[in-house]
Amino acid sequence: MKTTTVLEGAAVDALIALLPAAVELESTLWPVAEGEMELAGMTTLAVDYLGAISAELSIALPSTTADAIREAGGSSAVFVGDVLRPALEAAAQTLGSGVMGEVVDTNTLTIFTDAGAAVYRISEPGSNTPFAWFAVQVKDSAQPSSRAMSDVSARKLGRIHDVEMALSVVIGRTRMTVANLLALEPGDVVDLDRSAGAAADILLNGRLIAHGEVVVVDQEYAVRVTKILDAAEAVG
């Protein structure tokens, strides 16, 4: 049986506080070895968190829970991951400073049976039907030494030179309810959490690596890099 830690317990507490439920939810550490979880047919979401303490988080939702979330959003086309992202962010942030990646819909359930993960059954008080299952697996946060890094040869790095990565630029963020999101119409103005002229964030695969300013080159938008962040700044 996996022994829960303070970090994992804080993560699930933060998660259930923001889950869209009609009543207050409770969590129970689930001894995977003592009972099977009925995960077939569930909507399973996963997200990676990179920081001083990195982790993988996953939540599995029964069809009734997923449908209720979509219904509350006013459309069957609502992506459940968008609705649950604030709750997953709150869970991840209990691990310390870091950057959370994209919430993805996945059929991978291996984390729920991994001995290294803490798995929780989330339900309404007194109910035998789970509202959701939540798993968090803290990864090895040890950083390689400078000497170890210097041992990586250019030949080995050359193996990944052709690997494509997603570079994105963020000029600001905001939060709104699903109802407000669905009510948006052409011409509406959405206020962002950043003032005009402030530096934009440059993210590589969801991780903050630099700051820059948006410019126009040949009638197309571009970004001029103004600062490259070191590892401590990137996760701070």
Domains in the chain (CATH in brackets) are 6-138 (3.40.1550.10), 164-235 (2.30.330.10)
* Nearest to 80, CA basis, from 178, 207, 220: 178
State the pTM of this model.
Answer: 0.59
Q: Compute the distance between CA of residue 170 and CA of residue 35 in angstroms, rounded to an integer.
A: 44
Q: Letter for the amino acid at 205?
A: N
Taken in order 146, 147, 148, 154, the sign of the CA dihedral is: positive
pLDDT in single tens digits along all 236 residues of the chain: 344 467 888 999 999 999 988 888 999 988 765 445 666 678 899 998 887 788 999 999 988 888 888 877 677 678 888 889 999 999 998 988 888 888 888 876 778 878 888 999 999 888 888 899 999 998 765 444 444 444 444 555 565 667 777 888 988 888 888 888 889 999 999 988 888 878 888 988 778 888 899 888 888 888 889 888 875 555 55
Pair 109, 28: CB distance under 8 Å: no
Q: Which of 100, 108, 95 is nearest to 84 (CA)?
A: 100
Q: Are 12 and 120 in contact (CB under 8 A)?
A: yes
Cα separation of 183 and 85, whole Å? 20
The two beta strands, 43-51 and 104-105, are antiparallel
